[in-house]
């Protein structure tokens, strides 16, 4: 295993990090740079691509410039035993995407882990959807990984959706999510939808969260999941991307950028105490869109 190598922080007064691998493609540093620039601060988020989680955490605790860190794959669950405490969100979701500091004994800094992905999903809906037309209706999650866990928490606790359908090509991933929710008494309204016939027997969802890449299905299991999705969206279009399916079925589509911005702003607030307002949200969105434009 490669040893962790500390990044160069000399250009900035304070820094946050993002630890994981692979992360070279991440737009998170651009988002955070926009937030801190708008706040008039020479602060930044730096990428720490490494397999050495323990080495990174030792550095993080000692670094005097550090405000905290984002956590991404493959460490969202693996980091939990290394933390001093968890927020309610981190404990309930069972995955952590943010480490922030709390005062410890004798001036030490304790690691507190939380999950702001759920706040990003919540804010994406609240910022872009008038009222709450999804409240009291079923929710739908496409996918079974770490984002699925955050989406379950969001739909249950913030959006008032029930029951919650989960569809995914890997049934074992869904079973892992269901078992974790059973362990904390939060699985009563979760439904693993496995077949098209089952989907046709269920009421339509009022909100859907996609936690998978937006690409046409290839394997047989992916095609079954896509057929189930088309039943829920009431679309006859064949073998196409999730975003196009939702548009053609007359659903309002909220891009993943919105959730990314929401979770990043929540991180920045935890790390720095910056007050989040519409001006900061808009400048953050513009910065991320500028970086993505050459890719579109």
Q: Is residue 221 part of a domain?
A: yes
Q: Does the pLDDT at position 209 exceed 80? A: yes
Token duo for residue 9: 């922080």
CATH assignment of the domain containing 265: 3.40.50.10860
Instruction: Note the pLDDT of residue 240.
Output: 45
25 and 87 share one domain = yes
Q: Is residue 164 part of a domain?
A: yes
218 and 280 share one domain = no
Strands 98-103 vs 139-142: parallel, antiparallel or unpaired = unpaired
H or E segment at 273?
none
| Predicted TM-score of the model (pTM) | 0.80
Instruction: Note the pLDDT of residue 237.
Output: 45
244 and 263 share one domain = no
Token duo for residue 220: 């047989």
Q: Does the pLDDT at position 296 exceed 50? A: no
Q: Does the pLDDT at position 142 exceed 50? A: yes
**Hey, is 9 helix, strand or coil?**
coil
240 and 262 share one domain = no
Q: Is residue 125 part of a domain?
A: no
Arithmetic mean of pLDDT, 93-117: 92
Helices 278-292 and 256-272 meet at what angle, rounded to 10? 130
Q: What is the DSSP string of 156-216?
A: HHTS---SEEEE-S-HHHHHHHHHHHHHTT--TTEEE--SHHHHHTSPPPSEEEE-S----
Q: What is the DSSP string of 149-169?
A: HHHHHHHHHTS---SEEEE-S
Strand intervals (E) in the chain = 14-20, 43-49, 66-71, 85-86, 98-103, 109-114, 139-142, 164-167, 190-192, 207-210
241 and 281 share one domain = no
Q: Is residue 234 part of a domain?
A: yes
The residue to which tokens 């269920």 are assigned:
202
Q: Is residue 123 part of a domain?
A: no
200 and 181 share one domain = yes
HSE value, Cβ hemisphere, 13 Å, CA-based, for 30: 15
234 and 154 share one domain = yes
282 and 176 share one domain = no
**Cα–Cα distance measured from residue 106 to residue 245, given in angstroms and rounded to the nearest whole number:** 56
CATH assignment of the domain containing 243: 3.40.50
Q: Is residue 289 part of a domain?
A: yes
Arithmetic mean of pLDDT, 175-186: 91
**Active site annotation includes 130:** no
pLDDT tens-digit readout, 54-93: 999 999 999 999 999 999 988 998 999 999 999 999 998 9
236 and 191 share one domain = yes
Task: Please tell me which of 151-155, 226-230, 252-256 the model is most confident about, judged by mean pLDDT.
Answer: 151-155
34 and 112 share one domain = yes
DSSP state of 94: T
Instruction: Note the pLDDT of residue 106.
Output: 83
Instruction: Note the pLDDT of residue 17.
Output: 98
**Domain span at 76:** 14-118+258-295
Given the residues 27, 65, 76, 137, select the one marked as catalytic: 76
Q: What is the chain's percent helix, strand, coil content, to nearest 5?
A: 45, 15, 40
Q: Does the pLDDT at position 37 exceed 50? A: yes
DSSP state of 140: E
140 and 240 share one domain = yes
Q: Is residue 237 part of a domain?
A: yes
Of 52 and 291, the one with more pLDDT = 52
Q: Is residue 127 part of a domain?
A: no
93 and 155 share one domain = no
- Per the structure, the count of domains in the chain is 2
């Amino acid at each position: 295993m490669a040893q962790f190598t500390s990044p160069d922080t000399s250009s900035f007064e304070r820094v946050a990090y993002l630890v994981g691998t692979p992360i070279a493609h991440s737009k998170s540093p651009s988002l955070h740079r926009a937030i801190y620039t708008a706040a008039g601060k020479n602060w930044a988020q730096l990428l720490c691509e490494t397999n050495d989680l323990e080495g990174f955490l030792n550095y993080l605790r000692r670094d005097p410039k550090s405000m905290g860190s984002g956590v991404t794959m493959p460490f969202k669950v693996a980091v939990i035993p290394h933390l001093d405490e968890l927020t309610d969100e981190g404990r309930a979701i069972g995955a952590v995407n943010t480490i922030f500091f709390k005062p410890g004994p004798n001036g030490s800094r304790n690691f507190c882990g939380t999950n702001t992905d759920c706040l990003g999903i919540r804010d994406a809906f609240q910022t872009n959807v008038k009222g709450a037309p999804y409240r009291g209706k079923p929710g739908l999650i496409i996918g079974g990984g770490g984002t699925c866990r955050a989406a379950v928490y969001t739909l249950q606790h913030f959006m008032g959706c029930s029951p919650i359908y989960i569809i995914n090509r890997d049934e074992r991933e869904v079973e892992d999510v269901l078992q974790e929710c059973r362990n904390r008494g939060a699985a009563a309204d979760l439904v693993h939808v496995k077949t098209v016939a089952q989907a046709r027997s269920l009421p339509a969802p009022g909100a859907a969260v996609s936690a998978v890449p937006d690409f046409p299905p290839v394997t047989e299991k992916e095609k079954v999941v896509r057929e189930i999705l088309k039943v829920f969206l009431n679309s006859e279009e064949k073998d196409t991307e999730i975003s196009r399916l939702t548009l053609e079925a007359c659903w309002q589509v909220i891009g993943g950028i919105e959730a990314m911005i929401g979770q990043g702003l929540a991180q920045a607030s935890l790390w720095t105490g910056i007050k989040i307002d519409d001006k900061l949200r808009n400048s953050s969105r513009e910065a991320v869109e500028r970086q993505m434009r050459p890719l579109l």
